[in-house]
């Protein structure tokens, strides 16, 4: 448990409806902080509301809700100890096949929204010598096939975190990045469902090029999540970054994240490509399954019944 002085401190956690965000909110409340837990729906607010957790309606892409959060923090006499930028979405599709509107939406949620919340709360964090904890991903260090948009936003978040850290460290604010690998949350299942919806919209030629890749990646994502950290275990790493007196600039969460991050530092791009391809190859559908899974229009075309 923290000292009694911590009872007078606030923490903001975005994306606290489920998964790591909800678990982090509960862990930090357990340690004595007053947590403003960002959720998007009233039913999510009802689910997480408890001792030490005050839900706030927050879509980080909506400026009026970000401004309302900043006003709520400014009106509170307690110091803002930390902002945990956790909100995010997972969208997987080949670069060629992902519509531009989806690219922009991923960056709005996974990058620009975090920047908006950070800008809004930095005055309070500067007054309190607080800290910013940005939840990145293993995808912020290695961009796997079909992860172009997701990894692109996470790579950018890592870069913004580095720049922000160097700007505000002399002013007393610490910036920390958390890089989780597979975590057993609802986000991965939603990501697979989204990937399947996007795959259904691919053209026949795109299906021919990428259909098996998408299905293999979905299998890999599902298996990696099933064997990954629990949300509570990941939350304890987030809490450590929030509470330790001198936090590291980066923490990995999960063995897979630690291994891949280390490999990315020491291996050439080509060598890493081969390792990732070999790992993915095990999840490719068998030929008969792949044919069956292809859209009807593609199979009809193969039979010569249409052009």
CATH of the domain at 287: 3.40.50.720
| Cβ atoms of residues 199 and 295 within 8 Å | no
Look up the pTM and report it: 0.87
β-pairing, 53-57 with 34-39?
parallel
Phi/psi of residue 62, nearest 5 degrees:
-105, 115
Range of the domain at 109: 4-302
Number of domains in the chain: 1
pLDDT band at 7 (very low <50, low <70, confident <90, very high): low
Catalytic: which of 150, 210, 251, 284?
150
C-alpha–C-alpha distance, residues 58 and 87, integer Å: 10
Q: Is the pLDDT of residue 291 over 60?
A: no
Neighbouring residues of 207: CB distance < 8 A, sequence distance ≥ 6? 199, 294, 295, 298
The answer as to whether 145 is a domain residue is: yes
**Most confidently modeled range among 112-126, 182-196, 217-231:** 112-126
**What is the reported pLDDT for 282?**
87
Provide the percentage of residues in the chain whose pLDDT is more than 90.
75
- Please tell me the predicted confidence (pLDDT) of residue 296: 42
Average pLDDT over every residue of 287-306: 44
Across the range 183-212, mean pLDDT stands at: 86
Token pair, residue 114, equals 């975090």
Q: Answer whether residue 168 is part of any domain.
A: yes
Task: Note the pLDDT of residue 234.
Answer: 95
Residue 307 lies in a domain: no
Query: Is the pLDDT confidence value at 103 over 80?
Result: yes
- Residue 71 belongs to some domain of the structure: yes
Write out pLDDT tens, residues 16-38.
999 999 999 999 999 999 999 99
Q: Tell me the pLDDT tens digit for each residue of 221-247.
A: 887 677 778 999 999 999 999 999 999
d(CA 198, CA 97): 8
Residue 253 falls inside a structural domain: yes
Assigned domain for 170 exists: yes
pLDDT digits (tens, 9 = 90+) for 137-184: 999 999 999 999 999 999 999 999 999 999 999 999 999 999 998 887
Residue 81 has pLDDT above 60, yes or no: yes
Return all residues near 218 (Cβ < 8 A) that are at least 6 apart.
92, 192, 195, 196
150 part of the active site? yes
Least reliable range by pLDDT among 11-15, 151-155, 277-281? 277-281
Give the residue from 21, 109, 20, 105 showing the smallest Cα distance to 60. Answer: 109
CA 102 distance to own-chain centroid: 16
Whether residue 270 is contained in a domain is answered as: yes
Both tokens assigned to 269 = 């791009």
Q: Which of 78-92, 119-133, 180-194 has the lowest mean pLDDT?
A: 180-194
| Average pLDDT in the chain | 89
What average pLDDT does this structure show over 42-46?
Answer: 95
Residue 83 is assigned to a structural domain of this protein? yes
Ramachandran category for residue 2: left, alpha or beta (phi over 0 → left; psi -120 to 50 → alpha): beta
Nearest CA to 88 out of 116, 113, 71, 121 is that of 113
């Amino acid at each position: 448990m923290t000292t009694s002085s911590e009872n007078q401190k606030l923490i903001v956690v975005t994306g606290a409806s489920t998964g790591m965000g909800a678990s982090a909110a509960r862990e930090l409340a357990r340690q004595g902080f007053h947590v403003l837990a960002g959720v998007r729906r009233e039913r999510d607010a009802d689910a997480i509301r408890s001792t030490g957790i005050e839900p706030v309606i927050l879509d980080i892409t909506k400026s009026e809700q970000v401004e309302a959060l900043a006003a709520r923090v400014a009106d509170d006499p307690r110091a803002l100890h930390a902002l945990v930028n956790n909100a995010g979405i997972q969208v997987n599709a080949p670069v060629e096949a992902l519509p531009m509107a989806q690219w922009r939406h991923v960056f709005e949620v996974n990058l620009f929204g975090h920047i908006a919340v950070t800008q809004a709360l930095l005055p309070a964090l500067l007054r309190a010598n607080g800290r910013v904890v940005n939840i990145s991903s293993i995808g912020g260090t290695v961009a796997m096939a079909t992860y172009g948009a997701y990894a692109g936003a996470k790579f950018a978040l890592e870069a913004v975190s580095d720049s922000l850290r160097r700007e505000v460290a002399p002013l007393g604010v610490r910036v920390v990045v958390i890089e989780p690998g597979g975590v057993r949350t609802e986000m991965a299942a939603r990501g697979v469902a989204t990937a399947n919806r996007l795959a259904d919209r691919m053209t026949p030629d795109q299906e021919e090029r990428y259909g098996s890749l998408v299905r293999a990646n979905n299998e890999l994502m599902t298996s990696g999540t099933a064997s990954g950290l629990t949300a509570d275990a990941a939350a304890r790493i987030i809490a450590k970054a929030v509470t330790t007196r001198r936090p590291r600039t980066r923490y990995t969460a999960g063995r897979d994240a630690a291994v891949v991050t280390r490999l990315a530092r020491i291996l050439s791009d080509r060598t890493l490509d081969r390792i990732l391809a070999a790992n993915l190859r095990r999840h490719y559908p068998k030929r008969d399954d792949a044919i069956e899974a292809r859209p009807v229009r593609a199979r009809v075309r193969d039979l010569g019944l249409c052009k």
